[in-house]
Chain A
């Protein structure tokens, strides 16, 4: 019973890690994405640089994912 409870808590923890990190990335990417689309409309040659800035916060969710994976598979 205790083991099952622990597994459940780990699963909740992993879910929170990915979910909250994803939320963070989303909030960060929202503003950059909107600005990037505006910039690309003005000048399509900015696509590459706009994409770089847009995907920068994506790393946050990867951190969350790593923690989640470690929680499930390593702990």
Chain B
């Protein structure tokens, strides 16, 4: 990254901002007011109008139900700009709001009519009274309301009671009573749960039932009108959605551009912009700006920042942090999301994305290690990568796709396995191929595909798959081991392999750490800070190697002779040097704590074998249930157990259904356990060896357009 300063006259600030946006390579450093006599600028002239319009557009989008999921046709920038300038936003607003207001009025009207209708529905049960009779008396009070009991038997002086009552739906009662007796009437009615209704005043003679019909018709008419309004709005949405989304984007860009001066320094007549530019682009940025703005701009190159930390720390605070532009290839850059889950890398350190891109799918594939699970992983991953845009889903799809490819490779060539079953059930014994035919009979521990098919795979296929046996060069075959590494058989091999993978992975991490310190502080500092770790790491590995060689190779006393002794001596020397260096760098206590830590890191990788085994164990149990207990088998005269599914078709169907379901369980758990543990090994074991993070992403000024496009091939960006 290089730092530049752009100075120009304030009269052409707007052109300058447009020119900066064209470059897509200028990361503006926010100005902080100090004692340099400069102040922060004010937003561009047209910004307030643009933000006002943007508010209107957003409100309209909400009103019409246009959201980010609405698909619209793209629209040209020139078109959007000319329509906005011609006042189309205001025009659309008028049109839409008119209809929306009309709809709101109608909704209000329907609510009122509904409450009226509710009253009339009750009153229409009292056939003897017309609506005008409920009001207009001088000395008579009318008490009308709902009741929960029968009102006809009430005793009220000087009153006439009309009522209708139904046990299920309740009832209605109207009492015409002398005004003086009103309280008495209320008291009597209170006993049957009276709730008073406010009946509208009618002057013409009309029956409640007729009025009820009239209001129902009125409601229907209003509903029809609302429907028309909705249709009109729907039609407006179709007509304007493209324009509204286009102008939302265009106005957002205008507002963003207009607020750039708030981030830069201005004096009375000029502006000053400090910015970071990728070193490669400094010359082109300078040339382009000078070409566009002529004599009204002066661009000065300040510095190209190195990776040395002291160099950065010597700068003014606002120039100390350099933005980071991660520079990865097309596929690797997809993993940047995984790195960013922890943090954006600092300018002075290695970007771990590349290592994650290699090891994350590799570990995932190793742990799944099954061709049958790999194929759906690959399909799902490829589909996800093609369809999804959301970074979370893309990251998952990416791991599934590449992890699936590794799982396929490991499943076919290393484990020789599909859906928890080996392809080949047999092995070479002294150069002679021996088939296993009685595994199910023996206890169902290993159902194999060739047993299911009842046919042997060709020789070349058997040769393709690894074996835990020894290679016999005379016959060109593996001897004394099954074809394919057994996840639950060759456990020691898998454990050892995991540990070796761990050592390599950790060492890469430690090397990255050393490299970072060399770049930041120089070789001597790196040796003092990380040298101790390197020595302790190798010392501890050699020490454990000597110990295991002696322990598993014979007696513990063997450690004092031969190779174990040499290893032990080298290990102790390394450990002493390591502890001495660490003690100097971090203190004595830390140095001693550092030793068992190394073992912890390495043993943590045995999870690779552990997850592999756990899934194989589940698959084994499920396969045994399906093939050993449900789907029919038959024993031949020779004592061989043969797969005979059609002997019982119902059990075959049940078996197939169960087989699919149970393996789906293993497959789903595979995503969770293998995916999370593979990620953990990157985040914790690898990245904690060297990664600090906390950098700032390179965010150049640029227009992000997804809905609008430039119809003419031009670099001129006009202002709204």
A interface residue numbers (CB < 8 A to B): 47-49, 51-52, 55-56, 58-59, 62-63, 65-66, 69, 73-74
- A62:B603 contact, CB within 8 angstroms: yes
B491–A52 touching, CB < 8 Å: no
A51 and B675 alpha carbons, distance in the complex (Å): 13
Tell me if B492 counts as interface (CB < 8 A to partner A).
yes
Q: Is the CB of B684 within 8 A of A52?
A: yes
In the complex, 8 of the A-B residue pairs with CB atoms within 8 angstroms, ordered by the A residue number, are A49-B342, A51-B680, A52-B684, A59-B603, A63-B600, A69-B610, A69-B613, A74-B552
With both beta carbons as reference points, the residue of chain A lying nearest to B680 in the complex is identified as A55
Which chain A residues border B491 with CB–CB below 8 Å?
Answer: 69, 73
| CA A69 to CA B342, docked complex, whole Å | 33
Choose one: B340, B343, B492, B604; the contact of A74 (CB below 8 Å): B492
A49 and B343 contact, CB distance less than 8 A: yes
Asked whether B495 is an interface residue with its Cβ less than 8 Å from the other chain, the reply is yes
**A52 pairs with B683, CB closer than 8 A:** yes
Q: Mark B566-610, 1 if CB is under 8 A from A, else 0.
A: 000000000000000000000000000000000010011011011
Please name all residues of chain B whose beta carbon is closer than 8 Å to the beta carbon of A49 when the two chains form the complex: 342-343
> When the two chains form their complex, are residues B683 and A48 in contact, meaning their CB atoms are under 8 A apart?
yes
Are B495 and A69 interface neighbours, CB within 8 A?
yes
Q: How far is the CB of A60 from chain B (nearest CB, A)?
A: 9
With A55-B676, A56-B684 as contacts: A62 and B607 at CB distance below 8 Å: yes
Using Cβ atoms and an 8 Å threshold, which residues of chain A touch B600? 59, 63
- The chain B residue sitting closest to A53, CB to CB, is B684
User: Does B660 belong to the interface (CB within 8 Å)?
Assistant: no
**Complex Cα spacing A69 to B490, Å:** 11
Q: Which residue of B341, B606, B609, B613 is within 8 Å of A51 (Cβ)?
A: B341
Contact with A along B323-351 (1 / 0, CB 8 A): 00000000000000000111100000000
Q: Please, which residue of chain B has its CB at the minimum distance from the CB of A49?
A: B342
CA distance A62 to B38 in the complex (A): 61
Q: Which of A47, A52, A66 contacts B606 (CB 8 A)?
A: A66
CB-based contact B341/A48 at 8 Å: yes
Q: How far is the CA of A46 from the CA of B16 in the complex (A)?
A: 38
The answer to whether A62 touches B604 (Cβ under 8 A) is yes
**Do B683 and A59 have beta carbons less than 8 Å apart?**
no
B492 near A73: Cβ-Cβ < 8 Å = yes
**Which of the residues A52, A56, A73 comes within 8 Å of B342, measured between beta carbons?**
A52
Chain B residue with minimal CB distance to A58? Answer: B680
Taking CB atoms, residues of chain A closer than 8 Å to B607 are 58, 62
Contact of A51 with B683 in the complex, beta carbons under 8 Å: yes
Q: How far is the CA of A58 from the CA of B341 in the complex (A)?
A: 20
Least distance between A65 CB and chain B CB atoms (Å)? 5
Q: Name the A residues within 8 Å of B341 (CB-CB).
A: 47-48, 51
Contacts A69-B495, A73-B492, A74-B492 supplied; 13 other A-B pairs, CB < 8 Å: A48-B340, A48-B343, A51-B679, A51-B680, A55-B684, A56-B684, A58-B607, A59-B604, A63-B600, A65-B606, A66-B606, A73-B491, A74-B552
Please, which residues of chain B bring their CB within 8 A of the CB of A52? 342, 680, 683-684, 688
Q: In the complex, which residues of chain A have a beta carbon less than 8 angstroms from the beta carbon of B604?
A: 59, 62
* Chain A residues positioned under 8 Å from B610 (CB to CB): 62, 65, 69
**Which chain B positions have C-beta within 8 A of A69?**
491, 495, 609-610, 613
Give the complex CA separation of A52 and B679 in angstroms.
9
A63 to B342 CA separation, bound complex (whole angstroms): 26
Within 489-532 of B, Cβ neighbours of A (below 8 Å) are at: 491-492, 495
Contacts of A59 in B (CB 8 A): 600, 603-604
Residues of B within 8 A of A47 (CB): 341
For A65, the chain B residues whose CB sits under 8 A away are 606, 610
Name the distance in Å between B601's Cβ and chain A's nearest Cβ: 9
Chain B neighbourhood of A62, CB < 8 A? 603-604, 606-607, 610
Taking CB atoms, residues of chain B closer than 8 Å to A55 are 676, 680, 683-684
Given the complex of chains A and B, what is the CA–CA distance between A47 and B25 in angstroms?
A: 30
Q: Chain A residues near B680 (CB, 8 Å)?
A: 51-52, 55, 58
Give the 6 A-B CB pairs with smallest separation, nearest first.
Answer: A48-B341, A48-B342, A59-B604, A55-B680, A73-B491, A52-B683
Report the nearest A residue to B489, measured CB to CB: A73
User: Nearest-CB distance from B522 to chain A (Å)?
Assistant: 30
CA distance A51 to B678 in the complex (A): 13
Give bound CA distance, A56 to B552, whole Å.
Answer: 31
Using CB atoms, name the residue of chain B closest to A68: B610
B454 to A: closest C-beta gap in Å? 33
Q: Specify which chain B residues have a CB less than 8 angstroms from the CB of A48 in the assembled complex.
A: 340-343, 683
